[in-house]
Structure 1
């Protein structure tokens, strides 16, 4: 199968997850992504050993999921951009690329000569892509940010999930949570820019910020606040259900697991739900015999639903609800997501062979083309492809040795 980005070369000068995740998606789609890492230090993310209280390394192997996820399918070149001897290498890479992708801040971009004007002077047709914390303009254009700050905190998600009575702020549910969404967003922007260049011949400067992605993710609430011309009222969410619908929200099972209901039309789904759980008596109950009555007595109905759900285990409810038309889901942990039958049936948990030759699995990027799952290749080891890529550019072994002795390449 021809992947849609085959023939596109992306030059990535970035580290951590937000912007590199975009390169990983493009590599999934067939692009040749060359990752430039500092000739001595590499991508700073290679040095992380703990995240969110978890050990992120796999002792005794080269498999490093925190690098594999946002860097699979790329080739790594070790290049010391601050050294004059490295400049000619960078320029050759720029000339041969369609996209320049970076998350360097304005100061380092200027010092290293990789700002828009610098790169366009080498390749006028290149698409220049910047990932930032807070945007390319405004008072914080020079300020760095991570997804916990720019996406989660500033973008509204943290406030949205933290109860007003809580004595602590709710944290992101996974590492690189906003980074991964942001990377997919950047990949989409690059795709549109490539299409524009193919149609008009004009290259674009593409900007995506973590703050912007965070605001987009919470746009429903932000748009309501803008319409109301002020903060949204604090909601008194009931323990079970919603204020007007007992069939929305989470319920705990007998074995301490959770089910999530999202039956948006209570009058439509209440009779089916009551029948499936063996409480047909509730259908004709004068408190609940009609949509308006269910909504008016939602809290009382939700307490009844809670008592019903807490009497059986998760496995029992999964079996009971398997043919129910109403919308519901198990609340899955990370291991269960990785084993999810629908994800696996659609190739969204993809095999990959690591650098040691061991079979592994990674979450695939969620876009498929022509009903075909992506085929993943592992992330590169640090500077693994330096010689290979430079030889493709015409560098001789003698010149490679000279550049290594100068500290310009790894």
Structure 2
């Protein structure tokens, strides 16, 4: 793969997933990412032992690996003058400064735009926040389950009244990972702008803004019609029987999204061994199928319940319409399309334990990016400090005084 970010250095003062996952993507594409961690505990993610229904294994911290692959780590006390001086010297060598610290914390630590730009006027300054840089909640912390999921309308967009509860995000770091891709794209655009004009910009991405963008079409319709966006009831009649999900004999689901129902109905009738239905006046064209959608769906429900999902895979292999099997994460990881495109990559922890990660979703020159591993806490301290011209005696003094981990 062409390493499009090779030669770019990113200085990260961030933790958890949202912002670190952005620089992890840049590292996948060739950037040199220096991760500054809390001098004693490191990134708070290192201590996370469980999420949702899953316990994080002690030998492979999969969440940390996802958002910190390919980086170098330095534990640094930013509350000390010497630690801050080291950060400023590193900023002078960087193309991008990336942080998720709140405005009041940035001010306290003296790592705001003016302070960092005072040591490198050409640096692209990037902030990832919960609710945006301005407004009454700009200085309030948040997580993707709050800002992206609950506040941006995403949860309400899938919440059925019969649930009796607010649905939770489908995966840990769901909004964080989407927001990270947004940050990565924003950084690359800012670097292109600097290359063309010489002007360094400030980049802002929030979980709230990313969540609203993901729901953008719903927002547009909702505001146009003056109706809050909610899903239709589960038992609501469907106009198109070929835009629906159907249960198979072995309890799995097939999903269809054939928007031109009249065109795809005849070939589907052959697949389900009911060719006579292609000429049935009730289903003769798109209009007729729409009018008699309930009857058509009942027929399809009965037909798909007759065979297993594997049987339907074979029968639908040559079907010209759009369909897929509804898969869990393990099935999706083993999907032939996933394998063919390298969407899952083999990795090893620092201790050599093998595991797998989802590859960066953007590929260059038809090759997936191979992710590196997450660093051990403070793994690269000596190397990073030596590159700043500090000798062993100076580094040892910093460690003794607790400036460096």
* Structure 2: distance between partners of 1:170 and 1:313: 29
Match of 1:13 in 2: 13
Correspondence 1:378 to 2:389: no
Correspondence 1:31 to 2:26: no
- Given candidates 251, 264, 270, the residue that maps to 2:265 is 270
Task: Please state how far the C-alpha of 1:268 moved relative to its aligned partner.
Answer: 0.8
Farther-moved stretch of structure 1 (226-235 vs 337-346):
226-235
- 1:120-160 Cα offsets, whole Å, 9 max, x none, are 11111100000001000111101111110000111111111
The 5-angstrom pairing of residues 10-409 of structure 1 reads 10-58=10-58, 61=59, 63-232=60-229, 235-238=232-235, 243-409=238-404
Farther-moved stretch of structure 1 (243-252 vs 20-29):
243-252
Task: Please state how far the C-alpha of 1:319 moved relative to its aligned partner.
Answer: 1.1
* Structure 2: distance between partners of 1:401 and 1:234: 60
The answer for unaligned runs of 5 or more in structure 2 is none
Aligned residues of 2:360 and 2:368 also touching (Cα < 8 A): no
* Structure 2: distance between partners of 1:355 and 1:231: 48
Give the TM-score normalised by structure 1.
Answer: 0.96
Task: Please state how far the C-alpha of 1:353 moved relative to its aligned partner.
Answer: 2.2
* Structure 2: distance between partners of 1:234 and 1:366: 28
The residue matched to 1:246 in structure 2 has which SS? coil
* Structure 1: distance between partners of 2:318 and 2:385: 58
Aligned residues of 1:238 and 1:299 also touching (Cα < 8 A): no
Give the TM-score normalised by structure 2.
Answer: 0.97
- 1:166-191 Cα offsets, whole Å, 9 max, x none, are 21122111110010000001000000
Aligned residues of 1:132 and 1:209 also touching (Cα < 8 A): yes
Change (3 A) 1:234 1:368: closer
Aligned residues of 2:160 and 2:231 also touching (Cα < 8 A): no
* Structure 2: distance between partners of 1:87 and 1:135: 26
| C-alpha RMSD of matched pairs (Å) | 1.3
* Structure 2: distance between partners of 1:353 and 1:174: 23
* Structure 1: distance between partners of 2:231 and 2:311: 36
Aligned residues: 405
Runs of 4+ with deviation above 4 angstroms: none
* Structure 1: distance between partners of 2:188 and 2:270: 49
* Structure 1: distance between partners of 2:110 and 2:335: 46
Task: Please state how far the C-alpha of 1:234 moved relative to its aligned partner.
Answer: 6.4
Farther-moved stretch of structure 1 (22-31 vs 247-256):
247-256
- 1:75-107 Cα offsets, whole Å, 9 max, x none, are 011001111221221111100000000000011
Aligned residues of 2:159 and 2:230 also touching (Cα < 8 A): no
Task: Please state how far the C-alpha of 1:12 moved relative to its aligned partner.
Answer: 0.5
The residue matched to 1:360 in structure 2 has which SS? strand
The residue matched to 1:221 in structure 2 has which SS? helix
Aligned residues of 1:155 and 1:211 also touching (Cα < 8 A): yes
* Structure 2: distance between partners of 1:237 and 1:52: 26
* Structure 2: distance between partners of 1:361 and 1:326: 33
* Structure 2: distance between partners of 1:8 and 1:338: 31
The answer for unaligned runs of 5 or more in structure 1 is none
The residue matched to 1:67 in structure 2 has which SS? helix
Task: Please state how far the C-alpha of 1:384 moved relative to its aligned partner.
Answer: 0.7
* Structure 2: distance between partners of 1:15 and 1:172: 20
The residue matched to 1:23 in structure 2 has which SS? helix
Aligned residues of 2:157 and 2:230 also touching (Cα < 8 A): no
- 1:364-398 Cα offsets, whole Å, 9 max, x none, are 01001111221221110111111111111111110
Aligned residues of 2:96 and 2:124 also touching (Cα < 8 A): yes
* Structure 2: distance between partners of 1:297 and 1:139: 52
